């Protein structure tokens, strides 16, 4: 006897046949054709931009419905892979966070009579959304170490790690790992309410999602306090300069740099990074052991940009760090390093300074932290300084973003962070290793100019060539699970004791979750979880 032939389709058909007749007819009915058309062809939407358009629904046959919903959603999704010697803590932990949900009101006015979509007729449902300036406090109610972390978590994160949408917009790689993503989109759904086995259930008759690219305005934040032994940054280096191999010392070279101004992405961030530049200042000081010793000859200064993405499967209580990501099994880190420039600095002039006269320094900005270095300030003496004459020099280093990458602004959300670090490596003539500094640097973003906000985006084409649309992406805006992890894994099923489930993250697993059922085009109603 031949063995029975099993297939997913046979199993699915059997499940449908086992349903009550009314529910089965609802499942097997033809779905309406849903399209989401935008009034603007903009590739990127920023703070206070208007997202306007129309959802068109065409029914292949008469379809009775109860509601049409149009929502502007923002979600983040992460997963962390951990391999340990203990099997119970190995595997993948995942997290999903719906941090933004705006619902289009007044759609009932566009409903046809008797709640029936007539066969062959097209119905239009207009929508208008505005990108908010920040998120509501209730989407981040977990514990944090200080208010600064809360403020950062309530800023809109940029579209991040959405490769399909970036490909549709013909945009370069944003260097986001597969483990972290932030997506925005318009989600439209037609649904029907049915009673099944004594319970009221809402079933989707058809849905459509259209992903959008959102890069909110990001202001430059105050400089980081990069001091401390456990700091990931190196703002100062000292190096002993020798006459040659196995010869005596000439003196000590000090290299310092402060955090430069941010790299500011313009309102044309959707096109390229042309003109996105800032200036770093490297201050040098040479303390000779002998009055007759000349300062060392400089060779080259190489500049590199380190791109770091932090992600977690549990809500984070503080700003991320490399050390924390290594110690916490629910956190991960991904880095890339880009070569920015390498320039000859042999012509930099040294200035001899008399220790009896005060050094000429620039006025310290009152907004700067007292623990921070200040651009243009003469470095403090080296450990070997004897109170004699010394030399100073200043090297200006232009920092320009390359065009072959997409750079997300610096951001910190409940689950994901993107930060940047500038590495400055100086080589000198003679014997000895090079010197390098690791300095924090921010990337900020301008919003749409005020004249653009005053001008309503209208009359344009739908922009279908720049956006991703389809039923197969609707699950990006909803959790893929229909049941919460067990209490043994999480203890709580949402962030914050008062956080509404439909606006706060529905759950975070610390370890590998059990296998869950896929919901496909039928995302669960949050009030039923």
Does 224 fall in a domain? no
pLDDT winner (highest mean) among 14-28, 197-211, 332-346, 374-388: 332-346
Does 423 fall in a domain? yes
| Judgement on whether residues 250 and 142 belong to the same structural domain of the protein | no
| Judgement on whether residues 276 and 416 belong to the same structural domain of the protein | yes
- For the question of whether the overall pTM of this predicted structure is more than 0.85, the answer is no
Measured in degrees and rounded to the nearest 5, phi and psi for residue 475 equal -70, -10
Q: Spell out a b/e string for 1-33, using b for 16 or more CB atoms within 10 Å of the CB, else e.
A: eeeeeeeeeeeeeeeeeeeeeebeebeeeebbe
| Judgement on whether residues 424 and 463 belong to the same structural domain of the protein | no
| Interhelix angle 8-17/21-28, nearest 10 degrees | 140
Tokens describing residue 505: 């993250």
| Judgement on whether residues 98 and 209 belong to the same structural domain of the protein | yes
| Judgement on whether residues 388 and 432 belong to the same structural domain of the protein | yes
Does 6 fall in a domain? no
- Longest CA–CA separation in the chain, Å: 104
d(CA 396, CA 188): 52
Does 391 fall in a domain? yes
Residue 323: predicted pLDDT: 87
Does 257 fall in a domain? yes
Task: Please state the rounded mean pLDDT for residues 199-220.
Answer: 92
Task: Look at residues 410, 445, 480 and tell me which one is the last residue of a structural domain.
Answer: 445
Does 178 fall in a domain? yes
| Judgement on whether residues 140 and 207 belong to the same structural domain of the protein | yes
State what percent of residues in the chain have pLDDT above 70: 72
Lowest mean pLDDT across 277-291, 424-438, 474-488, 515-529: 515-529
The whole domain housing 260 covers 236-356+374-445
Measured in degrees and rounded to the nearest 5, phi and psi for residue 180 equal -140, 140
Domain count, the chain: 2
| Judgement on whether residues 389 and 456 belong to the same structural domain of the protein | no
| Judgement on whether residues 476 and 388 belong to the same structural domain of the protein | no
Task: Look at residues 422, 445, 468 and tell me which one is the last residue of a structural domain.
Answer: 445
| Residue 488, C-beta contacts closer than 8 angstroms, at least 6 positions apart | none
Q: With left for phi above 0 and alpha for psi between -120 and 50, is residue 459 left, alpha or beta?
A: left
| Judgement on whether residues 189 and 144 belong to the same structural domain of the protein | yes
Give the CATH number for residue 127. Answer: 2.60.40.640
Give the CATH number for residue 419. Answer: 2.60.40
pLDDT winner (highest mean) among 205-219, 363-377, 444-458, 493-507: 205-219
Does 84 fall in a domain? yes
Task: Look at residues 390, 412, 445 and tell me which one is the last residue of a structural domain.
Answer: 445
Nearest-5° angle of CA 325, CA 327, CA 328? Answer: 70
pLDDT digits (tens, 9 = 90+) for 27-59: 556 899 999 999 988 889 999 999 999 999 999
| Judgement on whether residues 168 and 251 belong to the same structural domain of the protein | no
| Residue 526, C-beta contacts closer than 8 angstroms, at least 6 positions apart | 501, 502, 506
d(CA 386, CA 399): 36
| Judgement on whether residues 205 and 348 belong to the same structural domain of the protein | no
| Judgement on whether residues 240 and 254 belong to the same structural domain of the protein | yes
> Greater confidence, 417 or 461?
417
Does 163 fall in a domain? yes
pLDDT digits (tens, 9 = 90+) for 109-160: 999 988 999 999 999 999 999 999 999 999 999 999 999 999 999 999 999 9
Q: What is the DSSP letter of 149?
A: H
Task: Please state the rounded mean pLDDT for residues 234-250.
Answer: 84
């Amino acid at each position: 006897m031949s063995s029975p032939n099993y297939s997913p389709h046979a199993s699915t058909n059997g499940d449908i046949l086992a349903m009550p007749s009314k529910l089965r007819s609802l499942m097997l009915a033809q779905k309406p054709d849903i399209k989401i058309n935008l009034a603007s062809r903009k590739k990127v939407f920023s703070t206070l931009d208007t997202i306007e358009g129309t959802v068109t629904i065409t029914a292949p046959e008469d379809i009775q419905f109860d509601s049409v919903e149009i929502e502007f959603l923002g979600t983040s999704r992460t997963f962390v892979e951990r391999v340990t010697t203990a099997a119970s803590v190995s595997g993948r932990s995942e997290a999903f966070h719906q941090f933004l949900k705006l619902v289009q009101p007044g759609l009932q006015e566009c409903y046809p009579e008797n709640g029936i979509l007539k066969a062959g007729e097209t119905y239009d449902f207009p929508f208008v959304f505005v990108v908010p300036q920040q998120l509501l406090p209730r989407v981040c109610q977990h514990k944090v170490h200080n208010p600064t972390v809360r403020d950062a978590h309530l800023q809109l994160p940029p579209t991040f790690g959405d490769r399909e949408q970036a490909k549709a917009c013909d945009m370069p790689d944003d260097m986001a790992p597969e483990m972290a993503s932030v997506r925005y989109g318009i989600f439209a759904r037609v649904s029907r309410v049915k009673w099944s086995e004594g319970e009221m259930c809402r079933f989707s008759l058809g849905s459509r999602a259209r992903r959008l690219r959102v890069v909110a305005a990001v202001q430059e934040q105050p400089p980081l306090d990069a001091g401390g032994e456990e700091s990931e940054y190196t703002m100062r280096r000292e190096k002993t300069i020798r006459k040659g191999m196995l010869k005596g010392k000439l003196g000590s070279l000090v290299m310092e740099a402060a955090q430069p101004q941010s790299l500011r992405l313009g309102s044309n961030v959707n096109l390229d990074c042309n003109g996105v530049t800032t200036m770093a200042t490297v201050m040098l000081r040479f303390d000779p052991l002998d009055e007759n010793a000349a300062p060392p000859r400089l060779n080259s200064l190489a500049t590199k940009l380190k791109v770091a993405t932090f992600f977690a499967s549990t809500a984070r209580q503080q700003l991320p760090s490399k050390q924390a990501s290594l110690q916490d099994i629910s956190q991960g880190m991904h880095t890339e390093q880009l070569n920015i420039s390498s320039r000859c600095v042999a012509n930099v002039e040294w200035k001899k300074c008399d220790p009896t006269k005060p050094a000429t320094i620039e006025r310290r900005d009152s907004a700067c932290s007292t623990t921070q270095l200040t651009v243009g300030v003469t470095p403090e003496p080296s450990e070997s300084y004897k109170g004699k004459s010394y030399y100073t020099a200043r090297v200006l280093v232009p920092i320009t973003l390359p065009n072959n990458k997409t750079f997300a602004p610096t951001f910190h959300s409940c689950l994901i962070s993107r930060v940047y670090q500038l590495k400055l490596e100086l080589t000198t003539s003679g014997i000895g290793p090079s010197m390098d500094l690791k300095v924090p640097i921010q990337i900020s973003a301008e919003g749409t100019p005020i004249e653009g906000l005053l001008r309503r985006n209208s009359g344009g084409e739908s922009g279908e060539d720049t956006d991703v649309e389809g039923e197969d992406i609707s699950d990006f805006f909803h959790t893929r699970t229909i049941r919460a992890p067990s209490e043994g894994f999480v203890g709580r099923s949402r962030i914050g004791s008062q956080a509404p489930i439909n606006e706060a993250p529905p759950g975070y697993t610390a370890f590998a979750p059990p296998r869950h059922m896929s919901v496909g085009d039928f995302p669960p109603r949050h009030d039923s979880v």
